[in-house]
Each structure stands twice: as structure tokens, then as C-alpha cells.
Amino acid sequence: MSQQTVPTGSGRLILLFKGAYWVALSIIAAMALASYVLLQQMMAAQQRDEALLALANAQRALSQRVVFLVAVTDRAPFVEKPGLIAELNDGTAEFEANYDLLLERMAADTPSPDRNDDPTLENILFSKPFYLDYFSTSLAANGKRFAAAVRSELGIGNSTVTGYLASRDKARLDATVAKATLAGYTALADRIRATSDARLKNMLSTHRMLFLSTLAVIVLVALFIFRPMSNVIMRRTHELVDARNSMAFIAVHDGLTGLHNRTFLTDHFDTLIKGAHRRRERLAVVQLDLDRFKQINDTLGHAAGDYVLVMTAQRMRESCRASDLCVRLGGDEFVMILNGAGTSEDIHALAKRILDRINEPISFQGATVHPGASAGIAVYPVDADNAADLLVHADLALYSAKKLGGGNFSFFSDELRQELEHRKQLERDLKIAIAEETFSVYFQPQVSLANGAITGVEALVRWKHPERGMISPGEFIPVAEKSGLMAEIGRIIARKAVHEAAAWYNADIQFGRLAINVSGSELREHDFDSFLFRTLEEAGLPPQKLSLEIVESVILDDEKTGIAAKLRQIRAAGVHLELDDFGTGYASLSHVNPNEIDRLKIDRRFVQNINSNGDNTKIVRAITELARGLGISIIAEGAETEAELNSLMSIGCDQVQGYSIAFPMPDDQARAWLMARAPKKPALTVLQGSRA
């Protein structure tokens, strides 16, 4: 018998929100439909009134035409009267037909009780003082009688059928009838117009009330149904309004700083180069990058970061000429295109002035921010003759300036050109190595100082180049990260390391846990978790025997990438998580959570010379006590001497990893090292004697 799930409080709240949402949506839809129907009725009534008004105006004109034709015919010469009589007959017939159509469209009825109400149209037709129905009929009849009398005089037609037998004087058109008919149709037109205006005003008032009621319902829905989201909705609404108003501007400008954007630079850079070539001038490309922008965002918040970007852009504009181009590429990357740059000395002086201005402190909400900027400079046509190469060379010069410590600038040089070629060749070789999976895994053991037990091994990537031999990870890993190849390399190393650890596990070789370094680019891959679980299953290694080492910056990047949710899912499956290089980043203590992190790894810069450096001793002791208080394991890397090991032991940091324990080893040597230090199994002794 299935048990029905009892909805929790949050579930009931969600159901309540959903119900209220659909009720509110139905009310709003009904109001919108009513508004639409009302608008349609308003338009139809307006069209009907306009048609009636046109008919009334036409009747007024026709009545005057009949009167005019009667007068003209009476005075016209004999020869012109037949034509005028024909026009009079046509006008009278049209007048009668229009009047019948008017009565039909007005749905006027003689015995209608509305004839005595002043505001009604029937009052003008059938009641005093206008009696329009009577005078319209009289006018048409008099017109016909007059025409018949004249025709009889002229001897036109059969006198027994169409002739007029009474005297000519009795067929005169009474001026009173003509004036009354004109006055009646004028009043009818005014009454139709007034009725239409009153109806339109009433319907507009109703439509306004309906519209305001709809707005009121929407406001109530926003306040009481989506109250938790009201701040977000307001912020997004402002963003949408701002985006709509500045859409055309943002097409070629950066929305935050107001500088030109990458699109504008791409479209106009070649034009600037052609202009410099035509004028035989130099053109300098200055690429800038803020040295401590990430630290500003992480410590003071993104509002401070945005303010620093805006101030940087403002200072860039103030430091250059109107003919120069300032561009924000994205993030904290900027480019300045200096036209007519002059000599190298001129460019040097201008770059120094720009950096000095940008590097000035910035005040934000009582805090003083020192952004610090570095710049790389490439010059046309000395360093390159096209836009793409100029940007690449300026970026490489920027990287060189950052390596010097930041806050300075560097020109592109032949040494950097050689370095660029070397990096390009290294990138090509990395792609070949990835395709052939020629990367190898070295393992460095981790041990306990208390009893010498092996607590784990860290998998490290190594690459033996077919021509250059072993290449240091510090040389090829930055290139791999910059070129987007690190994720593929990481998967190769993870797969090989997991399969080797699975072989140890199946051979009952004690190795603690396998630790694998995982970069942010790997974790940002949408299928990383499925790849990891699939690799563990194929190799036959339990998830509990694996640890993933991540750095603090990976956690800080989670705001937009969702990495933390993926890590929680991986940890829930049994895989351990370790925070690598702890103390060197900008993660707050909120990230040191025993529910998310299993072990902290103290960076080697705090471990080296810990026995003689009091500051390092204090830092390691503080980290150790923090981890112990939170129930998190801790390990120190980079221990090289016996004195350092003794200092770590006295502080309470039991687990260590470093050259004093073991160097990184290939898989066969690591297996032999682990087997040599495996605990000895007690020998089984068979007792001799008689059976009971």
C-alpha cells in the first residue's frame, strides 16, 4: 500500500503561491479581455456615430439643395426648367432615401417613449420644437408637388398620371418648412455629436477604471505574491529600462564605463591603421589591466569593483587626447589607441602619465582603494602591421609588465616576440600531446608524522616533450590555461591516475586517498561530474578513495558558474574535497566549512623556513587551530628539512607532503615505494598437537 506524501510547510507555501499566481493571472486576463471588448465597442459606437453624423450633415445639405432648386426653377427660363426639374427630382429622391436610411440606423420609432426625453435623438425627430420627421416629410412632399406642377405646366409626361391638377400657387415650397428642416438637421447633428462625446467620455472613464483596476491587481500580486522577489524584480526592471533607453549607445559602447566596446574596436581598428599608414604616422596600442581588481571585488564587493572601473575609464579619457580611442574589452581589460603617437620617448612619457593617473588611490564609501594598473604597448608599424597582431603583442607586453610586479608598463620587444613564437609552438605541441595522450602522472606520497602511515598520494602532471625532454609544469600549464586546453589535459591525468590507483586498490596496496588537482576550467565543464563518476566506475575505484584539490579562486568564481552546487553533488557521492594553497587567496572564512571541505592544504610559502620564521609559525598555528576547531583535516606541503618537520609536528600539523618525505615518482616507482612501506601482515603459526 503506497503512502501518500504529506506536503511540507514549504510545499504548501509553493502550492499557495502557484494557486495565487494562477488566480491573479486569470483576473488580469479577464480584465485585459474586458478592456479589449470595451475598446472594440467604443470603436464600433464611434464609427456608428460618425456615419450618423455624416448622414445628418448630408441631409442638411440636401434640404438646402431642394430649396435652392425650387427657387431657381421658379425663376428660370422655360428652356432650362426641364433640366432643373430633373435635378430637383433626383435631390428629393436622395433626400427621402437618406432619411429612410437615417431612421433605420437610428432604429427610430414614432411611438417610442424616448421622444419626450431631451437628450435623445427621437426627441428631435418626433417632438417639439423641431419635429424633424414632420418637416423632412413635408419638404420632400412639397418638392415633389412643385416638380409635378412645373412638369404639368411644361406638358412633360402623362398629365393623368404624373400631372399636378391643383393650382400652381398651392405647390409653392413653404419657407417655414425649409428653415425648420435646416434647423432640425443642424440640431440632430449637434445631438449626435453630443451623444457620441458623452458615450465616448463614459466609455473612456470605464476603460480608465478598468485599466486602473488592472494595475491595482498587478500591484497587489507584486506585493503579496511575489514579495520575496520584489527587490530583484525592481532591480531587473530598472536594468531593463536602462537597457532599452541606451540600446543604441551600448551597441558600440560599454554600458558601465561609457567607453567604446570590443565590437567598435573590431570594426574601426583597421580604419585607424589605414589612416596612420596614409599619414605616415605611428600608432600605439596600449593594453591595460588592473592588477588587484579581483581582490577589490572579493573584499569590497562588486559595487566597488564597478566604481573602480568607471573611475579608471574616466581617468583614461582625461589622460589622452580627443583623437585617441579608449576601449573596454571586458572585465578589467582596457585598450587605448593613440593616434600620431610620435617617437618612442613620446609614447613612454604618455604611457607613464596615463598609468600615474590611473594608479592614484580611489575613495569608495570611506574606503581607500589602490587599484594598480599595468600596461603593455605595441607600436604600428614597428611591432606589427595589422590589428590582430598588434593586440596580441600588446597583451604579451602587458603580461611581461605584470611579471615585473605590476603597476608599470612594458614595450613589446624581440625577446617577447621570441617568447610569443615559443608559446605558439608550445601550444601546438600541447594539442598534439593531448591528441596522443602523452602526458604522464607522477605521484607524491603524503604521510602522518605521528606514526609514519601513508595518508594519501597526490597525482601530478608531467610532460616529456619528444625533442626538449621533460618540460616543467610551471612552463606549460599557464600556456594550457590561457589557450583553453587545461580541461582536456586534466581529464587525461584524472583518467590515468584513477586507473593506477584502482590497480593499487585491487592489489591491496595501502595508499590512503588519491588527490587530483582540478582547475576551474575543468569544473566549469557541464559534464565534469558525469565524467568523474564514469571514470571511477570503469576503473573500479570507490569514490571514498578519491580527493579533489581545488583552489580558493574556484569557490570565489561560483557566483556565476554554479561550481559549488556541482562540488556538493560530487562530495555527496563520497569524493573528498580539499582546499589547496590555503592562505594565498582571498576566500573568506565562510568558505572554510566542514560541510563542504574535508581537508586544508597549507601552501609551501608558509611551510618553508617555518622553524626560523616566527610569522610563518604564527600563520600555520592559526590555520591549524582553525581547522582543528572546525573538525577539518590539515596537511602542509613543501616540507624540505627535518627542522621544518619538527616545527610542524610541534604545532600540531600531523600530515605533510614534500621532498623530505618523497619526490614525485612515476607509477612503477610509486607502487614500489608504497609496497615497501606497507604494514607487514603477521605470520600465521600452526600449532601442533592432537585433535580434541
CA distances from 612 to 428, 429, 439, 624, 655 (A): 45, 43, 38, 18, 20
The span from the CA of 541 to the CA of 516, in Å, is 14
Inform me whether the pLDDT recorded for 532 exceeds 50: yes
Place of cell 522577489: 229
Inform me whether the pLDDT recorded for 218 exceeds 80: no
Q: Cβ distance 451 to 650 under 8 Å?
A: no
39 or 230, which is more confident: 39
Taking the model in full, what pTM does it have?
0.53
Q: How many Cβ atoms from other residues are within 10 Å of residue 316's Cβ?
A: 24
Query: Residue 268 contacts by C-beta under 8 Å, 6 or more apart in sequence?
Result: 325
Q: With respect to CATH, is domain 423-677 assigned 3.40.50.800?
A: no
> What pLDDT is stored for residue 116 in this prediction?
62
Residue 258 DSSP label: -
173 or 71, which is more confident: 71
Cis amide bond preceding 594, omega within 30: no
Inform me whether the pLDDT recorded for 232 exceeds 90: no
> What pLDDT is stored for residue 169 in this prediction?
53
Inform me whether the pLDDT recorded for 214 exceeds 90: no
135 or 618, which is more confident: 618
Span 646-667, pLDDT tens digits: 888 888 888 999 888 889 999 9
Look at the chain and count its residues: 692
The span from the CA of 21 to the CA of 7, in Å, is 19
Q: Cβ distance 308 to 297 under 8 Å?
A: no
Q: Around 219, how many Cα atoms within 13 Å sit in the side-chain half-sphere? A: 6
313 or 692, which is more confident: 313
Q: Cβ distance 439 to 463 under 8 Å?
A: yes
Arithmetic mean of pLDDT, 141-155: 79
Query: What stretches of 237-371 adopt beta strand conformation (E)?
Result: 283-290, 325-330, 333-339, 362-364, 367-369
Span 302-334, pLDDT tens digits: 888 889 999 999 999 888 888 889 999 888 899
99 or 480, which is more confident: 480
CATH of domain 262-412: 3.30.70.270
* All cell numbers assigned to 351: 604611457
Inform me whether the pLDDT recorded for 584 exceeds 80: no
Q: What is the mean pLDDT of the chain?
A: 81
The span from the CA of 184 to the CA of 188, in Å, is 6
3-class DSSP string for 58-121: HHHHHHHHHHHHHHHHHHCCHHHHHHHHHHHHHHHHHHHHHHHHHHHHHCCCCCCHHHHCCCCH
Span 157-212, pLDDT tens digits: 554 434 444 444 555 666 677 777 878 778 778 878 877 788 778 877 887 887 78
* All cell numbers assigned to 528: 565534469
Query: Residue 543 contacts by C-beta under 8 Å, 6 or more apart in sequence?
Result: 533, 536, 573, 574, 575
Q: How confident is the model at residue 691 (pLDDT cuts 50, 70, 90)?
A: very low
